[in-house]
């Protein structure tokens, strides 16, 4: 089959033995520049796919609000479906991956960040093949089902620059085969079912390097999949999940790309799902509530379903409307108070009336959920109920870089309220911590409030 490729691509096939061109960081550094330069990695591969699969496979961006992600899509009876995605990252963002001795070394913490970033894309687009590319490094991740499900840990693959194209086409071949997409015509001497990328024998040209530093992380993933929630979690102790280990909610290049007509909730929903899965060390599911403008997250228990959080993401609202609308001036005041150190109670009083809104009360009653949020892609408002009919503003943010910290602190509130892992909605447990926190100190949940008026009151 290799001879067939040589006949079809006599001038280009040698590219599989060469590294992608070396480009100065002065010209290729941002996410957008890496995405544009990635044509050197994907051009020949996409040409080969088009030759043998025709319009059964296509390569394109699928979401204008995720410009750094480009997908390979497979044609199905109901239309095109994403099967694999490449996430372009800023130059040097994966610099902890480097060659040392006989293998590739990758910092374990960075590996977990990469895994969670890929998980967010998996949830958002509904696929199991995600690769990360910062021009100097390529990391291929293959998932075996959702986080916390019955599948095993993810598989990581990487290699040196002169292996990038070969690694990528083999990986894509696996994704295509798993989807069941067939070539337009059978290869010589093979049936149409036997005709796939593996038949060309690209794998013989590479020696897969082990990714040292990822080994412990993958072993921990396997242990979690085997044993489930640890006994410590069963006691009601909330898992410690540092905010910096979670993927960023918004891409800086996205915010700088110009006005966006409407809100895209996909990435935020994916972020919350991943964060909750990490916090509870369990599979967290999501579904639309009766209100089409909201999403709820829940965990299934033997005794029934436990609602964890609810997001009213305002899909019909224009981006930035919470800053501009006169009707929601209280929101802007609350946001400013979070960052200027204004009196907390003043902001809370301004926001208190809004929670008498019948729609929010109906949503709370319908879902049995104590945590709600509003999001318009530039501003984020998080609030919670104390379980006794009183709602208060919990956190508000205007800086996308702080979204993940704010959301993580907000989600931690779900733990004693949702009755998960030994908690009870009627008698919520106190969140256990390793260090003592003074009543007048800032709450460790990162809400920005004092401990005595936040988690300490439980």
Q: Tens digits of per-residue pLDDT, 144-194?
A: 876 555 566 788 888 778 889 989 999 999 999 998 999 999 988 889 988
Q: Which of 219, 250, 274 is the endpoint of a domain? A: 219
Considering the domain architecture, whether residues 212 and 311 belong to the same structural domain is answered as no
Q: Tell me the residue range of the domain where 420 lies.
A: 258-457
Give me the pLDDT at residue 424, please.
30
d(CA 99, CA 180): 36
Considering the domain architecture, whether residues 18 and 115 belong to the same structural domain is answered as yes
378 contacts 320 by C-beta, under 8 angstroms = yes
Give me the pLDDT at residue 120, please.
81
Give me the pLDDT at residue 119, please.
82
In this prediction, residues 88-112 reach a mean pLDDT of 72
Q: Residue 193: inside a domain, yes or no?
A: yes
Show the DSSP H helices in 151-238 as ranges. Answer: 164-179, 215-227, 231-234
Among residues 246, 54, 293, the alpha carbon closest in space to that of 147 is found at 246
Q: Which of 194, 219, 244 is the endpoint of a domain? A: 219
**pLDDT over 90 (residue 82):** yes
Helix (H, G, I), strand (E, B) or coil at 269: helix
d(CA 380, CA 411): 14
pTM of the model: 0.55
Considering the domain architecture, whether residues 78 and 195 belong to the same structural domain is answered as yes
Name residue 211's beta-bridge partners.
Answer: 104
Range of weakest confidence among 95-99, 123-127, 349-353: 349-353
User: Which tokens hold the place of 302?
Assistant: 């033997």
Alpha-carbon distances of 360 from 269, 371, 425, rounded to whole Å = 19, 11, 19
Considering the domain architecture, whether residues 187 and 274 belong to the same structural domain is answered as no
d(CA 130, CA 113): 14
Q: How confident is the model at residue 442 (pLDDT cuts 50, 70, 90)?
A: low
Q: Residue 424: inside a domain, yes or no?
A: yes
126 contacts 71 by C-beta, under 8 angstroms = no
Give me the pLDDT at residue 92, please.
85
Considering the domain architecture, whether residues 58 and 142 belong to the same structural domain is answered as yes
**pLDDT over 80 (residue 85):** yes
The string of DSSP letters for 106-159 reads --HHHHHHHHHHHHHHHHHHT-SEEEEE-SS-EEEEE--SSTTSSS---EEEE-
pLDDT tens-digit series, residues 194-241: 898 888 877 655 545 555 445 444 444 444 444 333 323 333 334 444
66 C-beta neighbours (distance < 10 Å), count: 20
% pLDDT > 90, the chain: 19
Give me the pLDDT at residue 347, please.
38
- At residue 33, φ and ψ (nearest 5 deg) are -70, -40
Q: Residue 233: inside a domain, yes or no?
A: no
Q: Residue 184: inside a domain, yes or no?
A: yes
Average pLDDT score over the chain: 67
Give me the pLDDT at residue 370, please.
64
pLDDT tens-digit series, residues 176-185: 999 899 999 9
Q: Which of 199, 219, 239 is the endpoint of a domain? A: 219
State which H helix or E strand residue 87 sits in.
strand 79-88
pLDDT tens-digit series, residues 8-55: 888 788 888 788 899 999 999 999 999 999 999 999 999 999 999 999
pLDDT tens-digit series, residues 272-328: 777 777 666 666 777 765 555 566 676 665 555 555 565 554 444 455 666 655 444
Give me the pLDDT at residue 233, please.
34
Helix (H, G, I), strand (E, B) or coil at 334: helix
In this prediction, residues 319-338 reach a mean pLDDT of 47
User: What is the total residue count of the chain?
Assistant: 458
State which H helix or E strand residue 52 sits in.
helix 39-53
Give me the pLDDT at residue 115, please.
80
- 407's CB contacts (< 8 A; 6+ apart) are 249, 271, 272, 275, 373, 380, 382
d(CA 408, CA 423): 18
Considering the domain architecture, whether residues 199 and 277 belong to the same structural domain is answered as no
Considering the domain architecture, whether residues 175 and 287 belong to the same structural domain is answered as no
**pLDDT over 60 (residue 78):** yes
Q: Residue 252: inside a domain, yes or no?
A: no
State which H helix or E strand residue 385 sits in.
strand 380-385
Across 290-306, b (16+ Cβ under 10 Å) vs e yields: ebebbbbbbbeeeeeeb
Q: Residue 243: inside a domain, yes or no?
A: no
Give me the pLDDT at residue 427, please.
29
d(CA 156, CA 95): 16
Alpha-carbon distances of 153 from 144, 150, 156, 174, 216, rounded to whole Å = 7, 10, 10, 17, 12
Q: How confident is the model at residue 332 (pLDDT cuts 50, 70, 90)?
A: very low
8 C-beta neighbours (distance < 10 Å), count: 13
d(CA 292, CA 91): 39
Q: Residue 108: inside a domain, yes or no?
A: yes
Q: How confident is the model at residue 421 (pLDDT cuts 50, 70, 90)?
A: very low
Considering the domain architecture, whether residues 188 and 333 belong to the same structural domain is answered as no
Considering the domain architecture, whether residues 263 and 397 belong to the same structural domain is answered as yes
In angstroms, how far is CA 34 from the centroid of its own chain? 20
Considering the domain architecture, whether residues 184 and 273 belong to the same structural domain is answered as no
Give me the pLDDT at residue 74, please.
94
User: Which tokens hold the place of 251?
Assistant: 């891409």
Q: How many domains is the chain built from?
A: 2
Considering the domain architecture, whether residues 211 and 262 belong to the same structural domain is answered as no
Give me the pLDDT at residue 336, please.
39
Looking at per-residue confidence, does 394 or 53 come out higher? Answer: 53
Give me the pLDDT at residue 122, please.
86
Give me the pLDDT at residue 36, please.
93
Considering the domain architecture, whether residues 262 and 215 belong to the same structural domain is answered as no
Among residues 405, 379, 388, 358, the alpha carbon closest in space to that of 458 is found at 388
Q: Residue 415: inside a domain, yes or no?
A: yes
Q: Which of 219-233, 279-293, 345-359, 412-426 has the highest mean pLDDT?
A: 279-293
Tokens 């988690």 locate to 455
Give me the pLDDT at residue 324, please.
56
């Amino acid at each position: 089959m290799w001879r067939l490729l040589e006949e079809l691509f006599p001038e280009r096939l040698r590219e599989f033995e060469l590294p992608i061109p070396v480009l100065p960081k002065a010209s290729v550094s941002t996410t957008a520049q890496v995405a544009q330069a990635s044509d050197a990695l994907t051009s020949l591969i996409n040409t080969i796919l088009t030759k043998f699969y025709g319009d059964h496979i296509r390569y394109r961006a699928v979401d204008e609000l995720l410009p750094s992600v480009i997908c390979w899509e497979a044609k199905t009876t109901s239309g095109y479906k994403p099967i694999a995605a490449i996430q372009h990252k800023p130059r040097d963002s994966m610099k902890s991956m480097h060659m040392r001795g006989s293998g590739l070394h990758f910092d374990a913490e960075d590996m977990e960040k990469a895994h969670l970033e890929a998980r967010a894309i998996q949830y958002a687009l509904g696929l199991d093949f995600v690769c990360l590319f910062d021009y100097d490094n390529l990391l291929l991740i293959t998932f075996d089902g959702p986080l916390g499900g019955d599948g095993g840990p993810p598989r990581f693959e990487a290699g040196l620059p002169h292996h990038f194209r070969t690694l990528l086409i083999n990986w894509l071949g696996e994704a295509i085969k798993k989807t069941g997409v067939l070539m337009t015509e059978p290869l010589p001497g093979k049936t149409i079912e036997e005709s796939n990328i593996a038949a060309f024998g690209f794998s013989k040209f590479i020696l897969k390097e082990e990714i040292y530093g990822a080994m412990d992380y993958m072993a921990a993933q396997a242990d979690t999949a085997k044993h489930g929630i640890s006994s410590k979690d069963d006691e009601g102790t909330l898992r410690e999940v540092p905010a910096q280990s979670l993927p960023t909610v918004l891409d800086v290049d996205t915010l700088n790309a110009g006005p966006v007509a409407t809100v895209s909730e996909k990435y935020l929903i994916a972020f919350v799902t991943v964060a909750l899965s990490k916090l509870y060390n369990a599979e967290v599911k999501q579904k639309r509530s009766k209100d089409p403008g909201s999403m709820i997250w829940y965990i299934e228990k033997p005794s029934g379903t436990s609602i964890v959080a609810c997001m009213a993401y305002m899909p019909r609202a224009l981006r930035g409307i919470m800053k501009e609308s006169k009707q929601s001036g209280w929101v802007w005041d609350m946001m400013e108070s979070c960052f200027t150190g204004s009196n907390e109670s003043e902001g809370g009083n301004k926001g208190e009336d809004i929670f008498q809104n019948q729609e929010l009360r109906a949503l709370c009653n319908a879902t049995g959920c104590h945590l709600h949020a509003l999001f318009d892609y530039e501003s984020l408002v998080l609030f919670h109920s104390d379980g006794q009919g009183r709602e208060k503003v919990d956190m508000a943010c205007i800086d996308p870089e702080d979204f993940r910290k704010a959301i993580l602190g907000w989600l931690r509130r779900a733990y004693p309220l949702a009755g998960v892992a030994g908690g009870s909605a009627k008698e919520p447990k106190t969140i256990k911590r390793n260090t003592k926190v003074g009543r007048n100190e800032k709450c460790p949940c990162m809400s920005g409030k004092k401990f005595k008026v936040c988690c300490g009151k439980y």
